[in-house]
Amino acid sequence: MGKRTIVPFGPQHPALPEPIHLDLELEDEKVIRAVPSIGYVHRGLEKLVEQNDYQIMCYVMERVCGICSFGHSWGYAAAVEGLMDIEVPERAEHLRTIFHELSRIHSHLLWLGLLADAMGFESLFMHCWRLRESILDIFEKSTGGRVILSFTKIGGQFKDIPKESLAEIVIILENMRKELLVVTNVFLDDTSVKNRMCGVGKLSKEDIMKLGAIGPTARGSGVNNDARCLDLGKYKELGFKPILETDGDCYARCKVRVREIFQSIDIIIKDVENIPEGPVNIPVKGMPPMGDFIARIEQPRGEAFYYVKGNGTKYLDRARVRTPTNANIPILVKVLQGCYLNDVTMMVMTIDPCISCTER
Amino acid sequence: MYSVFFLLLFPALMAVLLLLVKNDKLRGVIVISGAIVIMAASVYVALEFLKDGTTYFNFESEMLDWFMLAVELILCAAVIYLGMKYKKYLASILSLVQAVFLVWFEITYAHEINVLNNLYIDQFSIIMILIIGVIGSLICIYSLGYMRDFQEHHVSEKDRRPWFFFLMFIFLSAMFGIVTSNNLMWFFFFWEVTTLCSFALIGFTKTEEAVKNSFKQIILNLVGGIALILAIIVLGTQYDVMEFDVLLRMDSNAMYVMLAVGLFSIAGITKAALMPFHSWLLGAMVAPTPTSALLHSSTMVKAGVFLILKLSPMYGNNVVGYMVMCIGGLTFLLASMAAISQSNAKRVLAYSTIANLGLIAACGAVGTYEALWAGMMILIFHAVTKSMLFLCVGTAEHHIGSRDIEDMDGLFSRMPKLSALMIIGISGMFLAPFGMLISKWAAMISFVNSENLVLITCICFGSAVTIFYWGKWLGKMVAVVANSKDVEESVHKEEWVVLGLLATLVIAICFSFPFISSEILSPYLLSVFGQPVNPIFATFGIAYVCVLLGMLALLVVVPIPFFNKTKKKVRNNYMCGVNNGDNQSYSGSMGMSVNVSMRNWYMEDWFGEDRINKIGLVLTTAIIIVAFVLILGGVTS
Amino acid sequence: MNVLYLVSMIGYIVLAPIFGLVLAGLDRKVSARMQRRVGPPVVQPYYDVRKLMEKDQVTVNKVQDFYVFCFLLFIVITGCIFFAGGDLLLVVFTLTLANVFLVLAAYSSNSPYSQVGAERELYQMMAYEPMVLLTMIGFYLAVGSFNVSDILNGDKMPIVTMVGIFVGFLFILTIKFRKSPFDLSMSHHAHQDIVKGVTTEFSGRTLAYVEIAHWYENIMLLGIVFLFFCNGTWWGYVIGVVVAAVSFFLETFIDNSFARMKWQVALKSSWVVSILFGLINVALLIWVF
Amino acid sequence: MGSFKIGGIVLSSAFKRPSTRLYPTVPRKWQDNTRGHVEIDPEQCILCGICSKKCPADALTVDKAARTWTIDRMSCVQCRSCVESCPKQCLVMKNEYTSPNVKKVIDTVNIPEKVKKEE
Amino acid sequence: MSYSTKSPWIIHYDGSSCNGCDIEVLACLTPMYDLERFGIVNTGNPKHADILLITGSINEQNRDVVKQIYEQMPEPKVVVAIGICATSGGVFKKCYNILGGVDKVIPVDIYVPGCAARPEAIIDGVVKALRILEEKSKALHNKGGKVQ
Amino acid sequence: MTRSHEVQEITEISYSDLLVKAKELAEGGYRAVQICATSKDGKTEMLYSFDKDFKMINYRVNVPSEMRVSSITGFFWSAFIFENEVHDLFGIEFTDLVLDYKGNFFKLSSKTPWKTEAKKEVQ
Ligand code: NFV
Ligand code: SF4
Ligand code: SF4
Ligand code: SF4
């Protein structure tokens, strides 16, 4: 009986939202070995720094990923601003925080939908994505784009969001919260959903620490490495506390994200109350100097790392982004071992690799 | 009457002859001609006695009795010796116990009992004779080619084929004896001979495993043998009875009768490899395939269920009835489950055999004419189909070098003809228009009619499980694997002939089952139960028979327009877009080219052999103990 | 066999696909509405099948078509036996045969997804088969006959003594309709870890056959639901039809309200249900009623 | 047991109006900010070429000699970089997107010479 | 009227995209836009699909994948390139690992511009693709099985 | 006006110290955040980042001229992903890489595209 079923999983696969490839070696339905392979999305966009000046590069950077695009533009801008020693206006920083949290909500809702889809729960998927549309409407209304916002530039934001619009965002979010409560409750309480997630894909605290996993994956196992605890953004002022769960299974990871949605709503509402008036950008002059700079930001999927290296011209030497998924692939490899075929999608989803982020 | 003697003696003669012949060609001629004669003789006997119904022969000979005793004692001595030699003392002890009982009984009681008829023949015997005569002989012919290959694979060893064929033919002889003995002592004699033959056949290869398993067989079967002799002793000492026909007319609710029937049942259960005694049959799989086919499909184990079916009128709603029903039902359910976890084709077949024997036994134990009808039908279909499957696996094994189902990937592309036969065989075991299913259907109806909840449960769940393990095997074979080589040329002619004949038989029996039912089974049931019925039409109605036969015909006709005639373009399989241009491999991770490989489910966690066996052992042993406690306590119904 | 049964058999052959497709269409429409969508037109399944027929015919090997055709053929035969008032056990066995053909078709393609799908399909058969058999046995015990025609004209409503079995049957209907908690081997809508399971390698006409076979099968299964309410009177029939329709939409509702469960659950739960509802009900039928 | 949490949503949804925007039948109203496509006011353009340099997707070509301003509609990513950087503010981002097409659309705008002279 | 246009099933492949267009395609299937109104089902299996929606550009590694998916789709079939990446490579045009738009490896029937392509644009694109599908379907039946 | 960046702590260490430091950090419970390579003027410099409780330590290491670096995957298994990537993009060999994709991590249209400047120097 030495044989095993070998199932190629991806890059094109209906249950996989993204082009990743796994060779799954199965016995019955148990995964004995899983070898991942990526590279289907690798574009090499970091190398575009040689052709785009550091300002235009911001547009390129936000196209690292269409889901967390706002975060990418912020992270990159923050790194360049740090390098050039630019102080960003207070209001811009607040706006960034608000939009970043909005995109977290949209990303988590998108993720919840895909999770539901991965477990064959079509109607839940539909309802999640229906709710997500209201966030996209906010985006479109305020920035003109639904997923790629092009809202951030070096030195601040392109435009201001008027007070009324901010108030409107709050109203939309408050309305959404009610429906969200019902929908997310399904994830937390429904028997069939729990059947798929509880006890599946257990990751201990030690695993997480050893493999350097981050984001909700880590927080689901009780490890706090939420980069929002760092200085960037207005989180400290808003009294941010990371959300931690301890079970370390798919359910815990899902719960972290569900709770984060509500937390983000709270953060936004609080921020809208506190946002000061003022300019939203400052004119940027000069070139990035010699030297390098690191910025870290908490993306929906975890901490992202930005590194820029200037050389005194308008072209940077190096712009590097280490995205959350990149750090989470090892844990994915680990967790796939010994699960069942029908859990593979669960595992992949709850660790939530975003391949276009990973490969840039 | 002489024709029956011929049947009993001729195979034995052939056996002795084959023991002396060393030349391969000559042996071939003898085996084939002998087998044909046996086949012809059994058909002749069948035709001769079919009209007459039950016939008894009073054939008495003091000499013969002593001869039998002598042979039995020699055999016992042989077992005792071998047991000492291989340090299997349990076998020696059991054999000794048996011998003691036997001698004691012979000396004290047996000679005072007057036996009216030593031999008999009725419709049931006819069926058994046909099965043994036709299938058994075909297997002998098949063995010729198979053993030639076998010898080639084991060149270094001494050619012990004469011994092999000797055993095969003796076996046939003994089997004929079992199904025609009315004298219980005779029955016992033939019974022991089959046990010993099978012992020798299982140990034929003399490997360590073979020896171990052969002793497992002999130990378990000696338990049965002791039960048998005890039963005879009980009957003899209490009622002065030593004849089947007398026994069958007795009131089974009398305590000692019940005890005897209980002991007979134990003997039947051991021989039929029902739980808790089933493990010997699995061990028997080390033997050359024809042996397995002979032991498991048509003969040895059939002797066990033959006994139980024969005793059917004694069962029913009484303690032994329930005991055998529960054991049969549980065996059916549990053995079917265990079959799921097996990838060795022969073991799957073995478990399936155990399961079906359980079902047959359960049918016998229900004690109604419907159930008996179903049981006999299953017996017939099972014998034909299973022997064919065993032989198919044997042939496949010699050509693909493995008896593992996992290696039968796309067998359809590699050995198309053999696969076609195998597919017929497998479908014959569980799919609708084929005989097995018809009989299962009848069994189900009879179980429901007898309102036995345990049996209803067992058959419902057991059938479901059966679908799974046959289905996945079938699936393995039909998979179309491109670029595979045809390895069928080297199959021996004898093998083809036999396989072809068996396959024809499988289908022919399906078509002729209304005939078998009305001409053979009904008269028998009438004589046993005294009810003038023809169960097949009572339970099904002629319309359904037509429907089934129609379906069968469809299955023969429908493939014709399809095979190799599609005009469709053939494209590659879908593999997430990474195939390497064909269906054989795809480009996987780390830049490797990964070969596609497929494995069936075995669900080891749920249906693992050890787990199931443990459950079966505990349950069935408990049932037996409880039953005997009840019987000895005087509770009979 | 009387003429009436012949008529109903032909009626089945002609009308079942029509009802089947409308039901399938309604299913999609209602599902869509449950998801706050507009959904496709009700006759969408018809368009789908016509489209599949029109497509360029492609296959992965030469024998697959045969198996799929047999699947369709035997599903239709099953339905015919049922609607001609035939024997329920025969219906079950023929249905099994048909399903085995589907499994073989999937196996024959030798593709990993079909293979896993086929395996799961067999596994599901193992899960629901006991309950199906118990249902039929229940009918026999309640009405005294395995014949649909006798049950149809029986004078008591089987459901009265077969509530447990009815519940159990509804449970496995979820598997048979390939609806959400147990759409393991192939799913009509939702995405799946094994692509399209058994139907992964079917395309064009072959896929259309599978669709049509499902229409036939669904109607036949609803026929069994209907049978629970027959008592030989017209109002019994009306109740039967209504309940059959309701249970179809109940399945749609369930489909939309459950995630696909782990595969282990399918066998465990359906066997537990078979024992809890089916077997106990059968026991009651034997000993009490 | 916390089973069956979605039943309510599903059932009530079945009787609510679908939330679908019936797009092709009911045309979509755009937000003011919606980024659709870039349009030029040829009167204003001075052919300085800054926009083309600032375009991350290389969608713009400014040909001084031929006095044309060309946009490759199937390359423009609507980033508004050109709009932001045009010194004459002659580029605007319009709401409507370039409609899908069977071939790649390239729009070339002739920049009238006289306008520039007038300035 | 060919039935292909009444029941166009799609398969969606995400090439080297940024996910922006990818999720917009998915959004099209969800309640707000609901492509199923047109009978569209996201099959995820090339063997069942009529329309191939590709988002993102082509790189070295997914080139064969795209080609293979396209080949495994039975005729008649159309390809819709969604988003600027898929039409021309967009901002990534100059990247070392990007070969360009989808038309570099398979014939594209409809280009849907936008970064990200809006759901409305995707719907427009698919509706236009249906017309092409219809023509191809006719051609298939007239010429006895040969398209292009 | 705000300037809310974390403290930048980048230490330059010599290549020979790399494994020592890595071991130290691994034992201290740090996690590997990233490995970034930058090539300039034919030289490649690597930036290793580690983090523990929001305290990030960065080491800058200049790659030896033979472009072979010993892998830190012995201490930080998860770093295989970064090292394989750097290997494919920059052409740096890692010795003792625990999970070595052997250049098949990415399938690229040109080999080691980031190594360009080194090539220039060779020319
Ligand atoms: N990984 C990742 Fe992203 C996120 N969140 C990030 O930087 O999604 Ni595409
Ligand atoms: S559009 Fe503006 S930036 Fe472009 S060439 Fe004309 S004036 Fe210069
Ligand atoms: S909007 Fe952006 S991509 Fe489009 S032309 Fe302007 S600068 Fe280029
Ligand atoms: S076109 Fe834009 S949004 Fe779409 S994939 Fe490309 S970069 Fe992302």
Residue by residue, DSSP assigns B197-226 as: HHHHHHGGG--HHHHHHHHHHHHHHHHHHH
CA dist C211 and C203 (Å) reads 11
> F18 CB contacts (<8 Å, ≥6 apart)?
F48, F59, F61, F69, F70, F72
> What is the ipTM for the molecules in this complex?
0.88
Least Cα distance to A1 among E14, B602, B108 occurs for B602
Nearest to D6 among A141, A144, A186 (CB): A186
pLDDT above 90: percentage of residues in chain B: 0
List, in order, residues 6 or more apart from A233 with CB less than 8 Å away.
Answer: A93, A96, A97, A100, A297, F4
Note whether A138 and A151 are within 8 A (CB).
Answer: no
pLDDT for B180 beyond 50: yes
Tell me the chain E residues in contact with residue F109 when contact means C-beta distances shorter than 8 Å.
Answer: 59-60, 96-97, 99
Going D12 to D14 to D20 to D25, the CA torsion angle's sign is negative
**pLDDT (0 to 100) of residue F2:** 52
Structure token digits, residue A137: 């409407």
Please give the DSSP secondary-structure letter assigned to residue B404: B
In angstroms, the CA B324 to CA B306 distance is 13
User: How many helices and strands (H and E) does chain D possess?
Assistant: 4, 5
Each domain of chain C, given as residue ranges in start order, spans 3-184+195-287
Chain C partners of A193 at a C-beta cutoff of 8 Å? 259
Contact between A24 and A15 under an 8 Å Cβ cutoff? The reply is: no
Q: For the segment A178-232, what is each residue's pLDDT rounded down to a tens digit?
A: 888 888 888 888 888 888 888 888 888 888 888 888 888 888 888 888 878 877 7
Region label for E19, one of left (φ > 0), alpha (ψ between -120 and 50) or beta (otherwise): left
Smallest CA–CA distance, residue B609 to chain A, in Å, is 15
Residue identifier of the C-alpha nearest atom 4 of ligand 2: D51
- The shortest C-alpha distance from E145 to chain B (Å) reads 11
Q: Which two tokens stand for residue C26?
A: 């309604």
Instruction: Specify the range with the lowest mean pLDDT, choosing from A17-21, B36-40, E144-148.
Output: E144-148
Length, in residues, of chain A: 360
Phi, psi of B422 (to 5 degrees): -60, -40
pLDDT for position B474: 84
For residue B12, cis peptide bond before it (omega within 30 degrees of 0): no
Between the CA of A353 and the centroid of ligand 1 the distance, in Å, is 8
pLDDT of residue D4: 65
- For residue D78, give its domain range: 34-114
pLDDT in tens, B426-435: 888 877 777 7
Helix residue ranges per DSSP H, A250-340 = 250-274, 324-336
Nearest by CB to residue A8, choosing from B343, B578, B599, is: B578
CB A316 within 8 A of CB A84: no
How would residue C190 be classed by pLDDT, with cut points 50, 70 and 90?
low
Mutate to test the pocket of ligand 1, among A20, A325, A348 (most ligand atoms within 8 A of CB): A325
**CB-closest option in E21, E26, E61 to A42:** E61
- Tell me, yes or no, whether chains E and F touch by having 3 or more C-beta pairs under 8 A: yes
- For B39-68, the pLDDT digits (tens) are 898 888 888 887 777 778 777 777 777 788
Residue of C nearest to D8 (CA): C257
- Measured distance CA(E126)–CA(E5) in Å, rounded: 10
Distances (CA, A) of B345 to B405, B613, F77: 5, 18, 43
DSSP D39: E
> Distance, CA B452 to ligand 1 centroid (Å)?
63
Instruction: Write the pLDDT tens digit of every residue in C131-154.
Output: 998 888 888 888 888 888 888 887
Rg value, chain F, Cα:
15
Q: Do F103 and B590 touch (CB under 8 A)?
A: no
Please state whether beta strands F93-95 and F68-70 pair in parallel, antiparallel, or not at all (unpaired). Answer: parallel
Residues of E in contact with A15 (CB under 8 A): 44
Q: How far is A124 from C258, CA to CA, in rounded Å?
A: 9
Architecture of domain E9-142: 3-Layer(aba) Sandwich (3.40)
Nearest Cα neighbor of E16 from E70, E113, E81, E72 is: E81
Residues with CB under 6 A from ligand 3: D 38, 54-55, 57, 59-60, 71, 76-82
Count of C-beta atoms within a 10 Å radius of residue E71: 14
- For chain B, the straight-line distance linking the first and the last C-alpha, in angstroms and rounded, comes to 40
In whole angstroms, give the CA distance from residue A94 to residue B175: 95
| pLDDT tens-place string over residues E26-60 | 888 888 888 888 888 888 788 888 888 888 888 88
F3 pLDDT tier (thresholds 50, 70, 90): low
User: What's the gap in Å between D93 CA and the centre of ligand 3?
Assistant: 9
Cβ burial, residue B530 (10 Å; 0-12/13-18/19+): exposed
Nearest ligand, CA A360? 1
CA of D33 vs chain A CAs: smallest distance (Å): 4
Nearest to A111 by CA among A97, A132, A135: A132
Chain B touched by A15 (CB under 8 Å): no
Task: Give how far F95 is from chain E: nearest CA, Å.
Answer: 26
The per-residue pLDDT for B631 is: 83
- Taking the C-alpha atoms of residue C254 and residue F8, their distance in angstroms, rounded to an integer, is 56
In a domain, A37, yes or no: no
**Hunting for tokens 């798929």 — which residue is that?**
A196
Taking the alpha carbons at both ends of chain E, their separation in whole angstroms is: 20
- Interatomic CA distance for residues F62 and F14, integer angstroms: 7
CA of D107 to the centre of ligand 3 (A): 13
A20 contacts on B by Cβ (under 8 Å) = none
- Which chain E residues are within 8 Å of A148, Cβ to Cβ? 18, 20, 115-116
By C-alpha distance, the chain A residue nearest B577 is A12
Residue B535 predicted with pLDDT over 60: no
Q: What is the per-residue DSSP string for chain C?
A: --HHHHHHHHHHHHHHHHHHHHHHHHHHHHHHHHTT-----TTHHHHHHHHHHHSPPEESSSSHHHHHHHHHHHHHHHHHHHHTT-BHHHHHHHHHHHHHHHHHHHHHTT-HHHHHHHHHHHHHHHHHHHHHHHHHHHHHHHHS-SBHHHHHH-SS-HHHH-HHHHHHHHHHHHHHTT-GGG--S--SSS--TTTTGGGTT--HHHHHHHHHHHHHHHHHHHHHHHHTT--SSHHHHHHHHHHHHHHHHHHHHHHHH-PPPPHHHHHHHHHHHIIIIIIHHHHHHHHT-
Give B565's pLDDT tier (boundaries 50, 70, 90): low
Question: Rg of chain C over CA atoms, in angstroms?
Answer: 19
Centre of ligand 3 from the C-alpha of residue D108, in Å: 15
Give the integer Cα–Cα distance in Å for A210 and B321. 64
Distance of CA E111 from the midpoint of ligand 2 (Å): 27
Which chains have 3+ CB pairs within 8 A of F?
A, B, E
CA distances C243 to C131, C228, C238, F100, Å, are 20, 9, 8, 62
CATH of the domain at A52: 1.10.645.10
Per-residue tokens: A144: 């003109």
Query: E121 vs D101: CB contact, 8 Å cut-off?
Result: no
Q: Smallest CA–CA separation between C30 and chain B, in Å?
A: 32
Fold for domain F10-95?
A: Beta Polymerase; domain 2 (3.30.460)
| Nearest-CB residue to E59 (from A42, A47, A126) | A42
Pocket of ligand 1 (CB under 6 A): A 65, 67-68, 71-72, 107, 299-301, 304, 323-325, 354, 356-358; E 19
Q: What's the burial of A209, exposed, middle or buried (CB within 10 Å: 0-12/13-18/19+)?
A: middle
Residue nearest to atom 8 of ligand 2 (CA): D48
Decide if C34 touches D, using CB distance below 8 A.
yes
Ligand 2 centroid to Cα of residue D63, in Å, is: 11
Q: Where are the beta strands (DSSP E) in B47-159?
A: 55-57, 119-121
Q: Which residue of F has its CA nearest to A206?
A: F29
- Our CA-based measurement puts residue E63 at a distance from the nearest CA of chain F, in whole angstroms, of 10
**Beta F31-40 vs A318-322: how paired, if at all?**
unpaired
Highest mean pLDDT among C147-156, C212-221, D20-29: C212-221
| Distance from the Cα of residue D61 to its chain's centroid | 17
Question: Do the chains contact at D22 and C253, CB–CB below 8 Å?
Answer: no
Within B401-530, residue ranges assigned H as helices are 411-414, 416-430, 435-449, 453-478, 493-515, 522-529
pLDDT of residue C120 exceeding 80, the answer is yes
Pairwise CA distance, residues B203 & D25, whole Å: 83
Residue D92 Cα, ligand 2 centroid: separation in angstroms? Answer: 11
Ranges of each domain in chain E = 9-142
Pocket test residue of D38, D41, D45, D55 for ligand 2, highest count of atoms within 8 A of CB: D45
- Both tokens of E20, joined, read 């922006």
Contacts of C256 in chain D (CB under 8 A): 6, 10
| Residue E42 three-state SS | strand
- Total structural domains in chain D? 1
The HSE-up count of residue E34 (CA atoms within 13 Å, CB side) is 27
Task: Give the Cα-Cα-Cα angle A186, A174, A239 (nearest 5 degrees).
Answer: 95
pLDDT score recorded for residue E1 = 59
* A155 neighbourhood in chain D, CB within 8 Å: none
B534: pLDDT strictly greater than 60: no
Mean pLDDT of A30-44: 79
d(CA C151, CA C155): 8
Residue C155 touches partner A, C-beta closer than 8 Å: no
C217/B contact by beta carbon, under 8 A: no
The secondary structure element, H or E, covering residue F45 is strand F43-52
Q: Is the minimum CB–CB distance between E41 and chain A shorter than 8 Å?
A: no
pLDDT digits (tens, 9 = 90+) for C40-82: 888 888 888 888 888 777 777 777 888 888 888 888 888 888 8
Rounded distance between C-alpha atoms, residue A262 and residue A268, angstroms: 10
The pLDDT tens digits of the residues spanning F47-93 come to 888 888 878 888 888 877 677 788 888 788 888 888 888 888 887 88
pLDDT grade for C254, boundaries at 50, 70 and 90: confident
Rounded to whole angstroms, the Cα distance separating A236 from C230 reads 71
Task: Give the closest of D10, D15, D22 to C253, CB-based.
Answer: D10
Residue B312 DSSP one-character state: G
User: What is the pLDDT averaged over residues B276-301?
Assistant: 78
Contact D100 E111 (CB under 8 A): yes
Q: Which of D39, D83, D88 is the pocket-test mutation for ligand 2 (most atoms within 8 Å of CB)?
A: D88
F81 Cα distance to chain centroid: 11
